Structure 1
Amino acid sequence: MILSTCPLGVAHDHTESKKSLLEPRRIKQKENALTDRTCWIGLVIFIAICLGAAALGAIATTPEIDGWYRTIEKPSWNPPNWIFGPVWTTLYILMAIAAWLVWRPAGFAAASTPLTLFALQLALNIAWPWIFFGLHQPGWALAEIVLPWLAIAATTAAFFRCSLIAGWLLTPYLAWVSFAAVLNYTIWRINS
């Protein structure tokens, strides 16, 4: 028996006679089409979840960018305010694709640990703007940002074990949150 695996991880027996494959093959193709559709729906769901998390953070952030955040002292290397939206949007889309790549081959059951870590880091990520921008507490936000950083590092390591591409897709996110932590620390120090 010769088996090959399609991109979705479904094994096919290529030793059956062509005659016996005609009708079952049509059924398998139809089943695979549903699997393909489910796979793409999964990507859309992951993107919606990640952009939903971004929207929750933006609720706290957006009104404060031109308000409180404008009034506090920031280091000279602070990026311009307009850059945060595009960077975070890109990172959330990369996160969604990475999670989808981990989920796609076998679903949630087979990838429960990495996807649980992913959900944890996403929840911790949502909390940070509410503390920093919403409560105007850079010191508390600095303490909090350590938790998502650790969760992102653990998620990235877990994703690398599942898919090199998924791990690499999370690497810019870890780098950006590292930068955000240094920026958060600096803002806290110069405004204390």
Structure 2
Amino acid sequence: MTSQNRSRIIGATSAAVLGNAVVGTLATDTSSWWYRTLKKPAIQPPTWVFPAAWTLLYVDTAAVVGQSLADLDERGDTEEYEALKKALGINIMLNAGWSALFFRGKKPGLATLEAGALAASTADLVRRSRAVNRNRGTWLAPYAAWTAFATVLTGAIWWQNR
């Protein structure tokens, strides 16, 4: 594989993750009356934590999954390459979907289910990336931990506001 092909794969992965970040950001409105009046649990971090955490996690995801896809392409492992690419696509849709359900749809119950699916999808990305490169896959573990926390937090918000 050429370094040009490796750069193309990493660039495409980064563009997909960036697109997801933009969609999620556009769907998120923490200044809305609805969101501001929700009862929030004690585990709710300060508002500034979310954009900081998500930015780092998006960069991490783009780097880890992009490198993993490039490694699989380099090895000629088309089956695992396609499976990881599909897993990333599902993860991206679930990630953006949470913001749409929670903030735009104002459906914390459904958003909790969506967050759970996102957490499972993220754990799958960690597993798949770790199978390609053990150390690199470990770098993606914070994303899985964050999405698991997001599931608990969303569920707690839904429970307190039913």
Question: Normalized against structure 1, the TM-score is what?
Answer: 0.76
Q: Deviation per CA, 1:106-126, whole angstroms, max 9, x where unpaired? A: 428252212211211111111
Equivalent residues in 2 for 1:82-161, closer than 5 Å? 82-107=48-73, 109-110=78-79, 111-161=81-131
Residue number in structure 1 paired with 2:41: 75
Bigger Rg over Cα: 1
Partner Cα separation in structure 2 for residue 54 and residue 166 of structure 1: 22
Equivalent residues in 2 for 1:152-191, closer than 5 Å? 152-191=122-161
Partner Cα separation in structure 2 for residue 43 and residue 69 of structure 1: 36
Partner Cα separation in structure 2 for residue 164 and residue 118 of structure 1: 18
- Please report how far the alpha carbon of residue 163 of structure 1 lies from its aligned counterpart in structure 2 after TM superposition: 1.2
Identity of aligned residues (%): 29
Q: Which 4+ runs in 1 deviate beyond 3 A?
A: none
Partner Cα separation in structure 2 for residue 41 and residue 155 of structure 1: 20
Q: CA RMSD in A?
A: 1.6
Which amino acid is the alignment partner of residue 143 of structure 1?
L
- Please report how far the alpha carbon of residue 170 of structure 1 lies from its aligned counterpart in structure 2 after TM superposition: 1.6
Q: Deviation per CA, 1:7-37, whole angstroms, max 9, x where unpaired? A: x6xxxxxxxxxxxxxxxxxxxxxxxxxx223
Question: Normalized against structure 2, the TM-score is what?
Answer: 0.89
- Please report how far the alpha carbon of residue 187 of structure 1 lies from its aligned counterpart in structure 2 after TM superposition: 0.4
8 Å CA contact retained: 2:71, 2:132: no
Highest RCO, 1 vs 2 (Cα 8 Å, sep ≥ 6): 2
Which amino acid is the alignment partner of residue 140 of structure 2?
L
Farther-moved stretch of structure 1 (147-156 vs 41-50) = 41-50
Structure 2 residue ranges without an equivalent (≥5): none
